[in-house]
C-alpha cells in the first residue's frame, strides 16, 4: 500500500466522512490523484461512499471507511474493550450488565438533550438532531419517513467489532434514539444477525413535556 493511500485511510479513520476535496487538502495532493486512490480503495472494499445533501444545490459525495477498512488499523482498543466487557460479564449478572449499558446510554442522551434543549423541538427537528449526533458518534445513518413511521437505518456502526462478541452494546444506540425522540423504538434489523444494516422503527414521536 502506498504512503498516500495510507494517509487517505488514516484521514478517513480520524475524520469519519470526507469529500474528495477535503481529502486532497488533508494529504496535500490534487483531487484527481485522490480520486485515483479512492477508486482503488473502493475496489479493494476498504472505502465506501454515499451522496449527502449540503445546503442548496447538488448533493456531494462523501467517503468513509468500511468495516474492512477499519480492520486495517491496529485493533488494540478493540482488544481492550473486549477484555473489559468480558471481565464485567464475569463479575456481574446479565441483568446488571444490561442495566449498566442502559444507564450509560441514558446519561449520554440526557447530556445531549440538555445541551441542545430539545424539549420544545418538533419531531422533524429531533430527527435532524438525532441524525447529526449518530453521525458524530461514528454511525452512517439514513432516516426516512413512511407515513407516521420513522425508519432509522444504520449502514455502519462504530460498535460492530465489539458487538460481535458483546451484543449488549446495541443497547447504547437504541437507548440514545429512544431518549432523543421521546418514544420507544423497535429494532427490526441488526447486522449482528446477518442483516445488511441495523434498522429501528417508531410509529410516532411523543413530545417530551417540560
Same domain, 120 and 194: yes
Domain that holds residue 23: 3-70
Is position 209 within any domain?
Answer: no
CATH number of the domain bearing residue 150: 3.30.1380.20
CA proximity to 132, closest of 141, 120, 145: 141
Contact (CB, 8 A) for 183 and 206: yes
pLDDT in tens, 115-124: 777 777 777 8
The pLDDT confidence band at residue 76, using thresholds 50, 70 and 90, is low
Same domain, 61 and 82: no
**Helical packing angle, 94-116 and 76-91, nearest 10°:** 120
Angle at 155 between CA 149 and CA 159, to 5 degrees: 110
Q: And the C-alpha cell for 207?
A: 413530545
Model's pTM, two decimal places? 0.59
Same domain, 52 and 136: no
- Residue 77, pLDDT above cutoff 70: no
Tally of domains within the chain: 2
DSSP-assigned letter for residue 207: P
Same domain, 111 and 64: no
pLDDT in tens, 169-202: 888 888 888 888 888 899 999 988 888 789 999 8
Amino acid at each position: 500500500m502506498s504512503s498516500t493511500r495510507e494517509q487517505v485511510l488514516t484521514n478517513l479513520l480520524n475524520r469519519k466522512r470526507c469529500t474528495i476535496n477535503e481529502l486532497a487538502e488533508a494529504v496535500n495532493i490534487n483531487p484527481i490523484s485522490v480520486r485515483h486512490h479512492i477508486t482503488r480503495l473502493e475496489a479493494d472494499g476498504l472505502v465506501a461512499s454515499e451522496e449527502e445533501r449540503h445546503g442548496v444545490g447538488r448533493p456531494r459525495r462523501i467517503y468513509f471507511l468500511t468495516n474492512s477498512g477499519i480492520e486495517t488499523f491496529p485493533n488494540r482498543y478493540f482488544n481492550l474493550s473486549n477484555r473489559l466487557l468480558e471481565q464485567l460479564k464475569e463479575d456481574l449478572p446479565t441483568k446488571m450488565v444490561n442495566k449498566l449499558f442502559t444507564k450509560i446510554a441514558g446519561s449520554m442522551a440526557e447530556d445531549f438533550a440538555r445541551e441542545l434543549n430539545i424539549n420544545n423541538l418538533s419531531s422533524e427537528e429531533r430527527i435532524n438532531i438525532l441524525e447529526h449526533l449518530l453521525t458524530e458518534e461514528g454511525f452512517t445513518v439514513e432516516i426516512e419517513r413512511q407515513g407516521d413511521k420513522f425508519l432509522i437505518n444504520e449502514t455502519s456502526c462504530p460498535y460492530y467489532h465489539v458487538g460481535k462478541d458483546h451484543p449488549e452494546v446495541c443497547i447504547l444506540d437504541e437507548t440514545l434514539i429512544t431518549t432523543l425522540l421521546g418514544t420507544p423504538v423497535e429494532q427490526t434489523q441488526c447486522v449482528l444477525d446477518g442483516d445488511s444494516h441495523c434498522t429501528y422503527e417508531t410509529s410516532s414521536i411523543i413530545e417530551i413535556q417540560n
